[in-house]
Amino acid sequence: MLIFVDLDGTLTDTTHPSWAPFRDGQAEVDVSRVHLFFGAMDFIRDFRNSGHTIILVSDSHPRYVNKFKALFGLEGIELADKPNTVKLNSFIATKPDVQALLQDKSQCFFIGDTKLDIETGRRLGIMTILLMQYIVKEENISVRDGVGDKRGNQKMGPTFYAKSFNEVRDILNNPMGHLPSIEAAFSGFISNIAIRFSDIRYKDGSFGIIRCLARQEQGSCDQFARADKYFQISNSNRPQSFLQTLADGVKFYLDGILANRMYSWDVFTYLTDKSTTQPPNKMKEIFDLIDTSIPKVTLFRWLEQGQGSLRERNLYKERQEFLNQYLQVDDSVDIKGKSIIVLDDQLTTGATAFYAIGKLRELGAVNVIVIAMFQMILPVYNGKICPRCGKEMLIKIRRNDGSRFYSCTPPQYGGQGCGYTENIL
Ligand SMILES: [Zn+2]
């Protein structure tokens, strides 16, 4: 195994601004006064003793980082300038053993507490673990580097989430069993894990939560994110085996929910297709294939007058208004006192999911879970330059066959490039 690990906020509890002079090398740090996160030292020692390679990747100053290299007995990189991989790649270029390990990306991980760590891992095409062991006060949240920026870090799309080094160990011992359930299903594994997009707890003890079962990547990512499968949903030639695997991924997650006897679920429903959707009934077909004991009910319907698509409405507020006008709940079904699970295909801003929760609660529902099969995550560039115009190119996926290519995305597809493309073999 090859493990890249961040220092501040991951191994050491040093994200507070008062540590900045030390991290920046202006003052001499006394490592004996630094609080290591619980289990950090044991984790490093145990995994090194088991023959794994661990490399420290820190943006802090060498004067500071060198002390921790010595403390943990690790080699590593200072002033790494994450998420840029220039310095990291030149370090790797001097290490034939690390290069060899990177050949098998199913054995490579990047562990860190911010989106910069996750983006760096995605640029390398390896799995990432977002490790959150601290709570940041509002005034110390940094959107720029992601310290305490929960939503921002999540949008970067880490492969795994952990709250402690014990959870990190569990993930490393069985990564496939910790993938989001649809990603696992498409890799031939069973998992009941979901990405926890949002948790709303109400005063009466009930809740409305949003979960996602796979990542829909843009640009570079580990091999388990499945934008290719998301695009397949809209393909009129989608094979039955694909629909079944997707339905199985949802079922595995539902099985996990049903195993929790604290809550019971009365209705399983889905966000219906509009009459204009292609292929017709694209969601209904998936919904019908899901094998679950929760009674299936069709609750939502689109008003025919709903012109245009939600996808064209980018602003959260605009989406909410659109939904309020055109997405209706069937009032012939009494949902008072019922707990409801809603299936949707994709989550971008969360507008549809929050709307569905609000609407169902308004009509008397108790607990609501909205499951989006795919969560769109932020685009990540990996430094590939367009040979024609010199702009950075993004890895894209052809919707018809799922093949990958580099795209210098032109304006008609939302980019600023020249339209040059290059196949990835
Ligand atoms: Zn170009």
Q: What is the 3-state secondary structure (H, E, C) of 54-82?
A: EEEECCCCHHHHHHHHHHHCCEEECCCCC
Render the burial of 294-308: b for 16+ CB within 10 Å, e for the rest: beeeebbbbeeebee
**Ligand 1 centre and the CA of 152: distance in Å?**
29
Which residues have CB under 8 Å from 182's CB, separation 6+?
Answer: 213, 214, 226, 229, 246, 249, 250, 253, 373, 374
Same domain, 6 and 143: yes
**Ligand 1 centre and the CA of 407: distance in Å?**
8
Same domain, 205 and 333: yes
Give the number of other Cβ atoms within 10 Å of residue 199's Cβ.
10
Residue 308 pLDDT: 63
**Ligand 1 centre and the CA of 383: distance in Å?**
13
* 157 close to 217: Cβ distance less than 8 angstroms: yes
Q: Does 183 map to a domain? A: no
Q: Does 36 map to a domain? A: yes
Among residues 173, 204, 220, the one where a domain terminates is 173
Among residues 118, 142, 173, the one where a domain terminates is 173
Same domain, 112 and 215: no
**Ligand 1 centre and the CA of 390: distance in Å?**
6
Q: Does 187 map to a domain? A: no
**Ligand 1 centre and the CA of 228: distance in Å?**
23
Same domain, 19 and 135: yes
**Ligand 1 centre and the CA of 80: distance in Å?**
28
Considering its fold, how many domains does the chain have in total? Answer: 3
List the CATH number of the domain containing 47.
3.40.50.1000
Same domain, 156 and 244: no
**Ligand 1 centre and the CA of 389: distance in Å?**
4
Q: Does 159 map to a domain? A: yes
**Ligand 1 centre and the CA of 388: distance in Å?**
5
- Residue 35 has phi, psi (to 5 degrees) of -85, 115
Same domain, 349 and 217: yes
Same domain, 110 and 249: no
**Ligand 1 centre and the CA of 398: distance in Å?**
18
SS3 at position 89: helix
Residue 53 pairs with which residues in a beta bridge?
2
Q: What value, to the nearest 5°, has the Cα angle with vertex 322 and ends 320 and 326?
A: 120
**Ligand 1 centre and the CA of 409: distance in Å?**
7
List the CATH number of the domain containing 409.
2.20.25
Residue 313 pLDDT: 64
**Ligand 1 centre and the CA of 416: distance in Å?**
9
Render the burial of 88-111: b for 16+ CB within 10 Å, e for the rest: beebbeeeeebeebbeeeebbbbb
The rounded mean pLDDT for the chain is 93
| Domain containing residue 113 | 2-173
**Ligand 1 centre and the CA of 150: distance in Å?**
34
**Ligand 1 centre and the CA of 420: distance in Å?**
5
SS3 at position 216: strand
**Ligand 1 centre and the CA of 81: distance in Å?**
26
Same domain, 203 and 309: yes
Q: Does 190 map to a domain? A: no
Q: Give the C-alpha separation, 305 to 285, whole Å.
A: 24
**Ligand 1 centre and the CA of 236: distance in Å?**
31
Q: Does 279 map to a domain? A: yes
Q: Does 189 map to a domain? A: no
Same domain, 271 and 368: yes
First vs last C-alpha separation in the chain: 26
**Ligand 1 centre and the CA of 218: distance in Å?**
18
Same domain, 145 and 218: no
**Ligand 1 centre and the CA of 393: distance in Å?**
7
**Ligand 1 centre and the CA of 404: distance in Å?**
17
Residue 309 pLDDT: 65
Same domain, 406 and 344: no
Residue 312 pLDDT: 62
Extract the residue ranges of the chain whose pLDDT is less than 50.
Answer: none
Same domain, 321 and 423: no
List the CATH number of the domain containing 290.
3.40.50
Its pTM stands at: 0.94
Q: Residue 370 belongs to what H/E stretch?
A: strand 368-380
Q: Does 180 map to a domain? A: no
**Ligand 1 centre and the CA of 387: distance in Å?**
7
